[in-house]
Chains A and B, each alone.
Chain A
Amino acid sequence: NAGVTQTPKFQVLKTGQSMTLQCAQDMNHNSMYWYRQDPGMGLRLIYYSASEGTTDKGEVPNGYNVSRLNKREFSLRLESAAPSQTSVYFCASSINRNTGELFFGEGSRLTVL
């Protein structure tokens, strides 16, 4: 039982390049989330998907797009990467939006030069 799997684990981009972070969960959860973690800032919500077919903006959505491909998969896309997007990105899932406990992946460490 893998839980939440994120790929890639590490990525270096040049300013202006695009990339997609992939996330998949095998727990049959309805809700999925993307957070970013920066030093001294804690975790900030980028986007979430309360259920398959829906996505909503979080606290810091600018510069990102998401796709809830199916119930298992939720991807995060950077169309034109900027140095300010250097961060550690975490995908998480929960049974439903209001059930509390989040299950996190191991993170994707992105550096934008």
Chain B
Amino acid sequence: SQQGEEDPQALSIQEGENATMNCSYKTSINNLQWYRQNSGRGLVHLILIRSNEREKHSGRLRVTLDTSKKSSSLLITASRAADTASYFCATDASGGSYIPTFGRGTSLIVHP
């Protein structure tokens, strides 16, 4: 069963705009990760945020984590056409196997 669920399922924006995706999960976690998947390719790790962290940055990516609301957001600033991809959050339930469980993903299209 999916631990994390991304929202929205699909997002279409213009190049230069910001893209925000959200992830909600059900049980307490150790870590939350975001991955990107280009069409027909494998997943690529973007960023990991630990349960005791609230915000993390990596280049144009900003991830926030609110453990009280069991939610996370991924912000991509100044989007480029090359950011077109599906984005997945993955959580590992605390007290469990530490194996990441993936959501269904957000499909992002950035129009040039």
Binding site for B on A (CB under 8 A): 4, 33, 35, 40-45, 48, 56, 58-59, 90, 92, 97-98, 100-107
**Distance of A10 from chain B, by nearest CB (Å):** 11
CB-CB nearest in chain B for A56: B97
Of A43, A103, A107, the contact of B102 (CB 8 Å cutoff): A43
Whether A48 and B42, one on each chain, are in contact in the complex, defined by CB atoms closer than 8 angstroms, is no
Q: Once the chains bind, are B48 and A104 in contact (CB under 8 Å)? A: no
Closest to A6 in B: B42
> In the complex the two chains form, is B43's CB within 8 Å of A33's CB?
no
Q: Is B64 an interface residue (CB 8 A)?
A: no
**Is A101 touching B101 in the complex (CB atoms < 8 A)?**
no
Instruction: Enumerate chain B interface residues (CB-CB to A < 8 A).
Output: 1-2, 30-31, 33, 35, 40-45, 48, 88, 90, 92, 97-105
Could you tell me the distance between the alpha carbons of A45 and B102 in the complex, rounded to whole angstroms?
9
The answer on a CB contact under 8 Å between A43 and B88 is: yes
Q: In the docked arrangement, what's the CA distance between A35 and B88, Å?
A: 14
Q: Tally of A-B residue pairs with Cβ under 8 A?
A: 56
Assess whether B42 is in contact with A101, with CB atoms less than 8 Å apart: no
List, sorted by A's number, 21 A–B pairs whose CB atoms are closer than 8 Å. A4-B42, A40-B104, A41-B104, A42-B2, A42-B102, A43-B43, A43-B88, A44-B102, A45-B99, A45-B101, A48-B99, A56-B97, A90-B42, A100-B31, A100-B48, A100-B92, A101-B33, A103-B45, A106-B42, A107-B40, A107-B42
Q: Are B33 and A104 in contact (CB under 8 A)?
A: no
The answer to whether A101 touches B45 (Cβ under 8 A) is yes
Given A42-B2, A42-B104, A45-B101, A98–B30 Cβ distance below 8 Å? yes
CA distance A33 to B31 in the complex (A): 18
**Residues from chain B with Cβ under 8 Å of A104 in the complex:** 42-44
Also in contact, A100 and B99, with CB within 8 A (given A42-B88, A42-B105, A107-B41): no
